[in-house]
Structure 1
Amino acid sequence: MGYRVAVVGATGNVGREMLNILAERQFPVDEVVALASRRSLGTEVSFGDTTLKCKDLEAFDFKGWDLSLWAVGSEATKKYAPAAAKAGCVVIDNSSLYRYDSDIPLIVPEVNPQAIHQVKNRNIIANPNCSTAQMVVALKPLHDRATIKRVVVSTYQSVSGAGKEGIDELWNQTKSIYNPTDDKPAKKFTKQIAFNVIPHIDVFMEDGQTKEEWKMVAETKKIVDPKIKVTATCVRVPVFVGHSEAVNIEFEDHLDEDEARDILREAPGVMVIDKREDGGYVTPVECVGDFATFISRIRQDSTIDNGLNLWCVSDNLRKGAALNAVQIAELLGREVLKKG
């Protein structure tokens, strides 16, 4: 026996990727429904070899459905998700709406799978921010061995993290660079993104952080360990898909770079590509479409007693969003719903 699954926001980048990954991983489904706003009613999306026509989220009755994967943003989630949860359909939400609610689990299955049992509190599970998800997959096995005290991370985040509008803006601005009569001013981003980098993701906060940077701090503490100190600088770069991170880690105990490499090679969800030669590392272009979080450039930090540096790359539409949501659904099925 399989599950009845709703994908909410099925016409967006993440929603489509959720459908792709459900099919690729052969998630046990009896029925799948694609939901979107009324303006997308009837829009066709792919699920494996089949084509689904989108139904209207506003008019949909979630009673009798087992679980739902949400990729519609906080405003729509706040409006419709509580009714789905109340109807008995578990909500796995990709927005930031529920991530910091103490009653709702924030889960990366490779890191804190035990939190899945908190779903019984509200029938809602939160999916973390894309930049956090890939980082904590790498941090957790190292934390278990040597206890992380502090993390300093600089991110290089692709435009797909800002949705289709971000992808379109990079594409159109890149073309306009070579056609001066076709000027494409910044709309989605605060400055030109083509051939540029922008140290600004989400809104600014009173202390000078951006909301994206704050998210990485708060979510790492909730998912891995509240004692870990985290500071982040989040940067948007002219890459279509794939987030990269330069991560500096300070441990309580010494951890040799060779042992760290071995630990990460055995860690779930991690692929180590780390050769000290030209091209012996992974870049965003190479990670697109892959499930793994790739780790390269593992090396000691000689400026502190117990420090390591590493380079972390992942497809943000997959591990940073859709894949993690499907992995949560798989975990939910094994540990809580237990059908079939």
Structure 2
Amino acid sequence: MTLLVTGSAGFIGSCFVRQHFEHSAEPVVSLDALTYAGHLSTLGPVMANPAHTFVHASIGDTDAVRAIFAEYKPRAVLNFAAESHVDRSILGPGAFIETNVVGTYRLLECAREYFNDLGGEEKNAFRFLHVSTDEVYGTLSATDAPFSETNRYEPNSPYAASKAASDHLVRAWHHTYGLPVLTTNCSNNYGPYHFPEKLIPLCIANALNGRQLPVYGDGQQIRDWLYVEDHTRGIRAVLELGVCGETYNIGGWNEKANLDVVKLICSLLDELQPRADGVSYSSQIAFVTDRPGHDRRYAIDARKIERELGWKPVETFETGIRKTVQWYLASQAWVDEVTATR
């Protein structure tokens, strides 16, 4: 029995692989294109584990993916592979369409071919788990109920639209071809090994390097923050217990305004590694022009996965963000490595 994990050298995929080997000896074949945000160092000691095999390829490389299916015969595919940065999608949407839409289509087709050739218990046990985002649902007002699995899709950025398209493909391959799929839609992840372009790791890196801490608009955009290890625990629960064809929203129950997140990071840095001049890191906060189409609020209703699969987050935002800041303070060598060729 083997798992195929795509996007394994990225933030969430690598967390899943590292966490998997804390609980299981089941082999993993991991695949990643190693774009700017994918680094083998995120897999850490897993790279030396004889039960782990790494393949350098894209999910859109049909020959490479078919070869993995033929040689390793995985019982499940977990698709973490994606372009995921909204700002980059605004500047260059083509890469998002290529990876998130075309790549997912090609991966689905390879999985379908493989699934059709399976028989008996192997066919009954096979799963294709697709990891998606709450951004496919659009935006919420301050008084709207959190997103549930039945919310309509209203993506507002090229990134969100590309992920919505991939979700629709996964659904269609289930209903048309009978592929046993599972879909998860998560809220904003944070934690160790997050590439320093997203809000939290960028804020930490900029603060320590004496740069401005950019906050879009008025900083009152609200996000539901989910510690990455909680997220990957949820994915494990969906893989083992989820019902084929179903969607499960995974959220942290931690709604915070971006400005409040930045201020909390500054407060933690003031405590853990104060500036030499004694001035608070919050003095580096700078409000910048808001990005086009910036969604005002995301929030996830995670009651379904708790009710049906028994999962709920372990970390509060306060405990998770402290762990995150402490990790980055102790891991500046990793930050320097992954940003050296940015």
- Which interval holds the TM-score relative to the shorter structure? 0.3 to 0.5
Q: Provide the TM-score with structure 2 as the length reference.
A: 0.40
Q: Flag the structure with higher strand content.
A: 1
